[in-house]
């Protein structure tokens, strides 16, 4: 096992998630893309901790924070989706572009 391998996997996860977040129209699918990106960050964080500085616990705390970010993102994402869906019966980002400058 080496750091390179895990970083490569993490980069792949991050890129797939980025593709999803950019290309999907539905808010729920965009959130799945975002979650995949954070998933990659978590893997990279865990790998850095193990292969570079296992003595200090900063890496572990970072992964924990990434997990929390994911939970917060999902809760707020669904709350906003629900609010938009209640107001105008849509779940597509293209139909909620009122604030576009």
Segment 45-84, which members bind other proteins (CB under 8 A)?
Answer: 46-47, 49-58, 60-61, 63-65, 67-68, 70-72, 74-76, 78-83
Q: Does 88 bind other proteins (CB under 8 A)?
A: no
* Helical pair 27-51 and 3-23, crossing angle rounded to 10 deg: 170
Work out how close the CB of 99 gets to other proteins at its nearest, in angstroms, rounded to a whole number.
Answer: 16
Query: 51 φ, ψ to 5°?
Result: -95, -15
Work out how close the CB of 101 gets to other proteins at its nearest, in angstroms, rounded to a whole number.
Answer: 19
* Helical pair 58-88 and 27-51, crossing angle rounded to 10 deg: 180
**Comparison of 42 and 101: residue with beta carbon closer to other proteins:** 42
Number of residues counted as binding other proteins (CB under 8 A): 71
For the chain, first and last CA: distance in Å? 48
Stretch 3-42: interaction string toward other proteins, x if CB under 8 A = xxxxxxxxxxxxxxxxxx-xxxxxxxx-xxx-xx--x--x
Q: Does 95 bind other proteins (CB under 8 A)?
A: no
């Amino acid at each position: 096992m080496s750091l390179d391998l895990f970083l490569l996997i993490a980069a792949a996860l991050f890129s797939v998630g980025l593709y999803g977040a950019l290309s999907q129209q539905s808010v729920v699918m965009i959130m799945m893309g975002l979650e995949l990106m954070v998933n990659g960050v978590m893997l990279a964080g865990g790998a850095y901790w193990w292969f570079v500085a296992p003595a200090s616990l900063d890496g572990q705390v970072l992964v924990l924070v990434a997990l929390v970010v994911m939970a917060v993102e999902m809760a707020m994402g669904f709350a906003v989706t629900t609010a938009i869906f209640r107001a105008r019966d849509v779940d597509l980002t293209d139909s909620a572009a009122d604030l576009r400058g």
